[in-house]
Amino acid sequence: MYFLCLSFISLFLKKLSSKPFSLYECLHKIGITKFVFPGQIQTICRTVVSSPFSGETATLQHLIQGLKVNLLPIFHSQQRWLWLSVERSLRWSFSSTQCLTYVNSFFVIQNLLSLAGWLTASEEGDYSILAAVLSCEASFFTTLRDMRPLGKVLCATGIIAVLLAFFWKDTFNPESLSGARVLLTGASGGIGEQMAYHYARFGAEILLTARREAVLQKVMEKCLTLGAKKTFYIPADMSSPSEPEKVVQFAVQKLGGLDYLVLNHIGISPFQMWNGDVEYTRWLMQVNFFSYVALATAALPTLEKNKGSLVVVSSLTGKIPTPFTTSYSATKFALDGFFSSLRHELIMQKRNISVTLCILGLIDTDTALEKTRGKVYLTASPAAEAALAIIQAGATKVQEVFYPWWLQHTCSLWVLFPCHRNQVLQSFYNYSSP
């Protein structure tokens, strides 16, 4: 799959040169259209060359179809679900190249590194194609030579990450979750509901909690049909300081202990400018932060006994302050600070409990889409995929996971280039400085 990496590198560098250059033309120049485009689709795609961008959507559809035909058979049998990530990354890469101005170099690294996730799914590679690509006149190395130093650094970083990903082994073992005892909060909808279904498919024993009892009962019933060994639920309002301890005690009583505590619930958060409502902020801190601390504190003894995992679902707004999320962002920054510090303290005390912080971007839940419509210019990621990423991160005991993948590089660039922060946010939220 190295040939695909180099083709997209060439594409993005050409885009940055502000010269019209179609997707098909880029692929055709490096001689791989016969491989990625099945049958007579090549003929259809040739019409795009004379009118760049006008037919790019059709070209992209054919590229995806070609990849499915040629690459899907070599994916691991247990990792076919990764194809969804491949397709979404490809679509996002295409869309981002057409709407960038100031932040071109910022997105180059994101698009290059998206290929890293794809390569983890393949054990095979066609090195003859790689050799052909390296020997052809695709203008990649010429363009790289003429780039500014920052662009070279970003591209080099992307290439290295892609190559390293090819040798990176996925340590997630689905069987490790069979019989695992899981307390999952915020399980009545959105990401929490999807996590419940994934845990059920893996054969876990699950205790669900949220405010809406009727919905919880339906989720529990579906979990049982999907293969959960045991499923219980307890309705709870986390705005009440006494509820977290009761929930943990109930979970330990029903499941006999905990292997995973997954903290996912959130309070209702309007997506709007700060209106001075301090009481609301206090309430939201109780739901989004203090209840997390109380739940974790109550569960630490049983998690330590079982060498368990504490999984905390947070947000990009806990790493990067954004408009319209003043109170919500404050709660997520608090989560990041508290649980990152707690992780170090547990390590210092040699207590065998892992702490995983999950940094999520915009997810396609009904609530999130309704709040951000017309305000945020980002593509929402699937809740089911986000849920699976969280579960895998907790099972493999990683310290942090970012979903979508490119949020990690967004946060890194946010720290490395503070002078450009305003421009990046303005590009996402479509506003200008006074």
Enclosing H/E stretch for 89: helix 82-96
* Under 8 Å between Cβ of 184 and 208: yes
3-state secondary structure of 122: strand
Report which of 49, 62, 116 is spatially closest to residue 89, judged by C-alpha positions: 116
Does the annotation count 431 as an active-site position? no
Provide the terminal-to-terminal Cα distance of the chain, rounded to the nearest Å: 46
* Under 8 Å between Cβ of 424 and 418: no
The CA-atom distances, in angstroms, between 357 and each of 106, 155, 182, 360, 401 are 24, 28, 17, 10, 6
b/e code 405-421 from CB counts within 10 Å (16+ = b)? bbbbbbbebbeeeeeee
Task: Catalytic residue, from 260, 328, 377, 403: name it.
Answer: 328
Return d(Cα 281, Cα 287) in angstroms, integer. 10
Q: Strand 260-263 relative to strand 230-235: parallel, antiparallel, unpaired? A: unpaired
Q: Which residues are catalytic?
A: 328
